[in-house]
Amino acid sequence: MTFPQAARLALRDTQLRHNLGHATRTIRAKRERVVEELPDWEALREAGRAIKDRTLSRLDEYLLELEAQVQNAGGVVHWASDADQANRIVVDLVRARGAPEVVKVKSLTTDEIGLNDALARDGIRAWETDLAELIVQLAGDTPSHILVPAIHRNRAEIRELFMRELGIDELSDDPRALTEVARRHLRARFMEARVGISGANFAVAETGSVAVVESEGNGRMCITLPQTLITVMGIEKVIPTWRDLEVYLQLLPRSSTAERMNPYTSIWTGATDGDFHLILLDNGRTHALADELGRQTLRCIRCSACMNYCPVYERTGGHAYGSVYPGPIGAVLTPQLRGLESAESLPYASTLCGACYDVCPVKIDIPSVLLDLRRQAVKHNPERLAMRALARIFSSRRSYERAQRLARHAPERLPFPPWTSTRDLPRVPKQTFREWWRTR
């Protein structure tokens, strides 16, 4: 479905709108408090923007440096041009270790390439270990938020889901009770898994270090317990130096979870007792990099602040965007990664109010990119052709008056969707003003 079609369905779900409204208001209030604590917040935002832009301008150099440092530390680096190639690399690595299942850290990049489905086709079960991702997986659902994938579900719905899918007879909807059930379920998965799969928030070219930040500790278990760790990372996640990481470890937690620091910040360099594989994924990113205006979307650190402040997202939720990247950042990133022809309606999923730009920790000018994507989208749009024809008619008095005479015989509804699909033309009078004037 297009975004307008999916949004209409979402707007009819009052429970969804209540869940989203409550969650986003709570996150906004907390974020504003922790941001106000930093007198240099705007300077940090500018530093975050500058580091990313510098990195993108020399991305090939930093990626080669990262590859060399990871290999020097005992890791193996793979390059994947698209989702199919990345999935094949992961499946081959898991099969070579004879693992029937894997445990996963929450990763938007693996969601982007459909890794769980690719593993399932080869008979390998992937267990999501993030609590919200586990809820989504058990429900056969898809994430609706970058940071809080199950934001569209409330406690009562999660209680019913756990009772049904995990075979529990009695369960309270108290968050502590729900978390304990998930912990018991996942503990066995952690202890038995031979392979762990993660994404990456950042990778430091200078040292070959990879960083994952999270709030529950499940990521730490996936990274340390299995003998083999496979990390799938978008090529834009690289940063030049260890010191650059300092900036983002201040920006990211405050913008995402409204915390001063993530409870779990895991950083590893290569491998000692086991094997580590880093897959560097393109999947449309070099296409976005070639766009002078659009490449700024590759600065994104996946904090989700833009969603929490977006009036459109707050009312429709993430599923309406039809992408693992919902909200304002998804409206610009998805068309760039997939191709505009496959997501033509997403650039219009915005009021252009600018709230997303105001809160973005790396200063992505999302409204400007949206406008540019809209410009590209209408190049071959029937509505654009119709407007060109009207411009020619209005440019000449003679052609304009001829069109007025012909319009008396036109139907009330013209075949120019979407402009006239919900609009009735006013009845054309039998005499124009100029004709009336000439008779007098």
pLDDT digits 0-9 by tens, 247-277:
999 999 999 989 999 899 999 999 988 899 9
Question: 255 lies in a domain?
Answer: yes
- pLDDT category at 298 given cuts 50, 70, 90 is very high
Asked whether residue 415 carries a pLDDT value surpassing 60, the answer given is no
Instruction: From 268, 283, 298, give the residue that closes a domain.
Output: 283
Residue 66 · residue 76 · CB < 8 Å:
no
Q: In the chain, what percentage of residues exceed pLDDT 90?
A: 72
Instruction: From 222, 257, 283, give the residue that closes a domain.
Output: 283
Question: 3 lies in a domain?
Answer: no
Question: 376 lies in a domain?
Answer: no
Q: Are residues 275 and 395 in the same domain?
A: no
Residue 414: its pLDDT value, please? 59
Mean per-residue pLDDT of the chain: 91
Q: Are residues 138 and 257 in the same domain?
A: yes
User: Which of 84-88, 115-119, 292-296, 412-416 bottoms out in mean pLDDT, i.e. has the lowest?
Assistant: 412-416
Q: Are residues 279 and 387 in the same domain?
A: no
Question: 333 lies in a domain?
Answer: no
Cα 212 to Cα 129: distance, rounded to the nearest angstrom: 14
CATH classification of the domain holding 103: 3.40.50.10420
Instruction: From 230, 262, 283, give the residue that closes a domain.
Output: 283
Question: 360 lies in a domain?
Answer: no
- pLDDT category at 378 given cuts 50, 70, 90 is confident
Residue 180: its pLDDT value, please? 92
